[in-house]
Amino acid sequence: MDVEEFLKKIPRPSVEDIPELYRELDEMTRRIAEILTASSLYNAGTQEVDFGKATSEDLVELISKDPEVMVPFFVMITGLSHRELKRCGLGGVYSLRRARNREATCRHGEERPGASA
């Protein structure tokens, strides 16, 4: 999957007004694509991720790789609700994201941009 080609196809009507937002969204997309294409759920032949065969362990593993982007991805983009993730054993998905953000703050001495939960 060529993420850069995919990103080029996305309309950007307000890029002059909010360029930083587009840069941040592009970086989030790259991070998500890297995680998903490296997962066992990804089929390189069809370039599809088969979420239907995902176990709760698969979801935990994917989210844990980068909670800052994977929590919003699973909750907002795939349509999985917080309640559905809870049923899969992922009760504290937002706390996973906060824990990652706290680690970033501790490592760098200051909070990363966009790192609030």
Contacts of the segment 2-8: beta carbons below 8 A, 24+ positions apart: 3/29, 3/30, 3/33, 6/33
Contact 45, 82 (CB under 8 A): no
On the 0-12 / 13-18 / 19+ scale of CB atoms within 10 A, 19 is exposed
Query: Per-residue confidence of the chain (117 residues) as pLDDT tens digits?
Result: 689 998 999 999 998 999 999 999 999 999 999 999 999 999 999 999 998 898 888 988 998 898 888 888 888 877 777 777 777 666 666 666 665 555 544 444 444 444 443
